[in-house]
Amino acid sequence: MMEEKGRENGVAAMKACYRRFDPAAYLQYNYTPPRADFTRKDSIVPWKLACLHRAFTEGDMSGELLVDIGSGPTLYQVMSGCEVFSKVLLTDFLEVNRQELRRWLQDEGQCSLDWTPYLQHVCKLEGRRPSAWTEKAAKLRQVVADILPIDVHCSQPLAPDALPSAGADCLVSCFCLESVSPDLAAFTRALGHIGKLLRPGGHLMLIGALGESYYLAGPGVKIPVVPLNEAQVCTSLKESGYTLIRLEVYTLTQDMRVGVDDVTGVFFAKAKKD
């Protein structure tokens, strides 16, 4: 009973941290140069986009529904997947992030970040001319069916009727679970919770921080993170009912350490639900 109470308190404290989350500041900190410099091979965002492109185009994925777990205010993580799956659901715990995503999807302008360079870069990865980005943007807007609230700490993270009974064919989740969990056990439990949304044999693409204890989510808004290493990621996946297909690691260069977090590396995992 005490253990459960402590568990709930830890999760509640994490949720309280997010009340001051600032989508515009977060995007500025992490999704502009040098971290998003498309002229550099060693920039972190192009590395992530290349991992996702490769994973989605290896030919081992099938089905119709892709669900992005904890989208935050970002769209890059579904730019390759929208070519493979005919329906995409975005999800986030915070209404401010869901609003940010809606603004782009409804093409209202007033977005906190211009996603054009991202779309152009993914087009290049796909062997298309960068000017095809307008077609890709239209495709993405067409396949995103909804933006839903989610809580990865609930054993049923989405509303019961949000998904078909068979579950999603693929999940993608980037920098969500380790940054909303009070400890490693909560991170592993959250992996198990989202696994319930995935059909057996479905794929999970997980991107996350290594060695990170905090990040800034706005001026003066410091959010604690579970500092993970590669072995812990592999163990948590296994314990949560996934078979790891591939793990790749990016080590941050000195100029990528821009003072908004203490992250040392980023992992990309492609796994399959048992």
- Binding-site residues for S-adenosyl-L-methionine, in ranges, read 26, 31, 70-71, 76, 92, 97, 151-152
* Among 12, 6, 3, CA closest to 181: 12
Q: Scanning the structure block, which residue is given the tokens 């870069």? A: 121
- For the chain, the residue count is 274
> In angstroms, how far is the first alpha carbon of the chain from the final one?
31
Query: Would you state the structure tokens that stand for residue 184, as one six-digit string?
Result: 């490693």
> In terms of C-beta density within 10 A (0-12 exposed, 13-18 middle, 19 or more buried), how is residue 8 classed?
exposed
Q: Alpha-carbon distance 266 to 132, whole Å? A: 29
- Dihedral of the CA atoms 115, 121, 125, 127 (nearest 10)? 100
Q: Phi and psi for 37 in degrees, rounded to 5?
A: -105, 105
Give the helix/strand (H/E) hosting 25: helix 23-30
Cα separation values, 29 from 32, 36, 181, 218, 259, Å = 7, 10, 21, 9, 9
The two structure tokens encoding residue 254: 């000195």
Residue ranges at the known binding site: 26, 31, 70-71, 76, 92, 97, 151-152
